[in-house]
């Protein structure tokens, strides 16, 4: 069976241009912290539809990065948040499938009434993939995170037992935790409660592997994991304590670092970054719809177009860069930029050449962000 490593990192990006910079960050992190991450390039059907791309482009990005850097470890391409209606377009290009069954979870009733329909649907999707790709030729993740109510450790135990009965060799599981996992910004919630839930879930997974015959490498997957800086030290300490693995998805943060890199590159690139923001401000409601459950934008905190037009590169970058200690940092600005990649896609004739021209500046921002702000918080003791 194709098996993912103990630690893995989801490093996809909206425009499939930053694979080398992302892989370089993981290589650098291994050199600095002695921890190896299997890279997983992930991109959801929603993102492909918005940008107008195909899963084959994500595979090409990953393969090109591996060749360019001479990387010899294993790596994966994740069909992120798929269902029976869209999975077929991912079959050829992907070897990691995130089966999203959150829509099948009931809002009330017993554990069986709430979760069994979702588990049965996960089984149908898994078997469909296995029929097409061959059982054992891909990694299976089950995602239940995009719901209103967090699953308790007891409910996670029930879910894992039923997934085992369904015959799904799940290697990563993405439950819903208490608190807000908004896109591109820090975790918002009770850190002590998160710590208790996370540790209890680790213990449940260990028990489920022993009792239900699930794969020994089964681990938690943290969706919307990018920029959740306050919980990274907690997760890092607890996975070391219990000898557990982890999978973290961080695709959205790369798009934000591309914007920062453009702002820092030259006046024309800064003007393009401003153009995207001003357009996003006028289309905020439209852009927010696909992400309504995972963003909290305070419209009153967003700067007016005429204010942004006067900004220099440093002001733009500091307003967008996730540094809570910086008085210029604006999480509402950052979240709006996060959902504005549709505009960059519409401006692809300007945007994509700008990425190519300024790849060095952008690359430094991406590599530093993943290695220094993310992985260091997990493993720098």
pLDDT in tens, 220-236: 999 999 999 999 999 99
C-alpha span between 140 and 166 (Å, rounded): 13
C-alpha span between 299 and 159 (Å, rounded): 39
Q: Tens of pLDDT along 12-61?
A: 889 999 999 999 999 999 999 999 999 999 999 999 999 999 999 999 99
What is the pLDDT, as a whole number, of residue 365?
97
Q: What is the mean pLDDT of residues 319-344?
A: 97
Give this prediction's pTM: 0.96
Find out whether 287 and 344 touch, Cβ atoms under 8 Å.
no
What average pLDDT does the chain have? 97
Helix pair 267-282, 251-265: axis angle to 10 deg? 130
Find out whether 106 and 149 touch, Cβ atoms under 8 Å.
no
Helix or strand run (H / E) with residue 213 = none
C-alpha span between 183 and 291 (Å, rounded): 8
Q: What is the mean pLDDT of residues 77-85?
A: 97
What is the pLDDT, as a whole number, of residue 381?
64
Helix (H, G, I), strand (E, B) or coil at 79: strand
CA torsion angle 311 371 182 262 (round to 10): 30
C-alpha span between 244 and 213 (Å, rounded): 17
146 has a pLDDT exceeding 90? no
Instruction: Please give the angle made by the CA atoms of 177, 179 and 183, to the nearest 5 degrees.
Output: 95
Q: Tens of pLDDT along 164-192?
A: 999 999 999 999 999 999 999 999 999 99
First vs last C-alpha separation in the chain? 34
Find out whether 189 and 178 touch, Cβ atoms under 8 Å.
yes
What is the pLDDT, as a whole number, of residue 170?
98
């Amino acid at each position: 069976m194709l098996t993912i490593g103990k630690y893995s990192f989801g490093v996809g990006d909206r425009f499939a241009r930053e694979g080398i910079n992302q892989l370089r960050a993981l290589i650098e992190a291994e050199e600095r912290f002695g921890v190896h991450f299997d890279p997983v390039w992930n991109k959801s059907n929603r993102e492909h539809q918005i940008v107008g791309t195909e899963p084959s482009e994500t595979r090409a990005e990953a393969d090109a990065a591996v060749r360019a850097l001479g990387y010899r470890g294993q790596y994966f391409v994740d069909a992120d948040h798929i269902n029976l209606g869209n999975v077929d377009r991912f079959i050829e290009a992907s070897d990691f499938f995130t089966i999203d069954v959150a829509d099948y979870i009931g809002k009330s009733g017993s554990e069986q009434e709430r979760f069994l329909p979702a588990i049965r649907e996960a089984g149908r999707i898994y078997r469909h993939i296995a029929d097409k790709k061959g059982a054992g030729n891909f990694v299976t993740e089950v995602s239940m995170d995009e719901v209103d109510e967090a699953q308790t450790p007891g409910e996670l135990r029930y879910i894992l037992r039923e997934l085992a009965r369904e015959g799904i060799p799940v290697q990563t599981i993405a439950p819903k935790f208490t608190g807000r996992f908004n896109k591109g910004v820090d975790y918002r919630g009770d850190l002590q409660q998160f710590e208790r839930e996370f540790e209890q879930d680790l213990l449940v997974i260990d028990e489920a592997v022993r009792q239900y015959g699930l794969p020994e490498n089964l681990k938690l997957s943290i969706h919307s994991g990018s920029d959740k800086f306050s919980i990274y030290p907690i997760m890092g300490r607890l996975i070391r304590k219990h000898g557990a693995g982890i999978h973290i998805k961080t695709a959205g943060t790369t798009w934000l670092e591309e914007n920062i890199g453009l702002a820092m590159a030259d006046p024309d690139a800064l003007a393009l970054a401003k153009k995207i923001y001003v357009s996003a401000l006028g289309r905020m409601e439209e852009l927010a719809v696909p992400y309504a459950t995972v963003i909290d934008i305070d419209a009153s905190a967003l700067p007016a177009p005429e204010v942004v037009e006067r900004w220099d590169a440093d002001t733009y970058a500091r307003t967008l860069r996730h540094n809570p200690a910086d008085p210029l940092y604006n999480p509402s600005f950052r979240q709006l930029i996060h959902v504005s990649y549709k505009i960059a896609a519409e401006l692809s004739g300007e945007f994509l050449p700008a990425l190519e021209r300024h790849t060095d500046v952008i690359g430094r921002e991406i590599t530093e962000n993943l290695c220094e702000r993310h992985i260091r918080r997990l493993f720098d003791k």
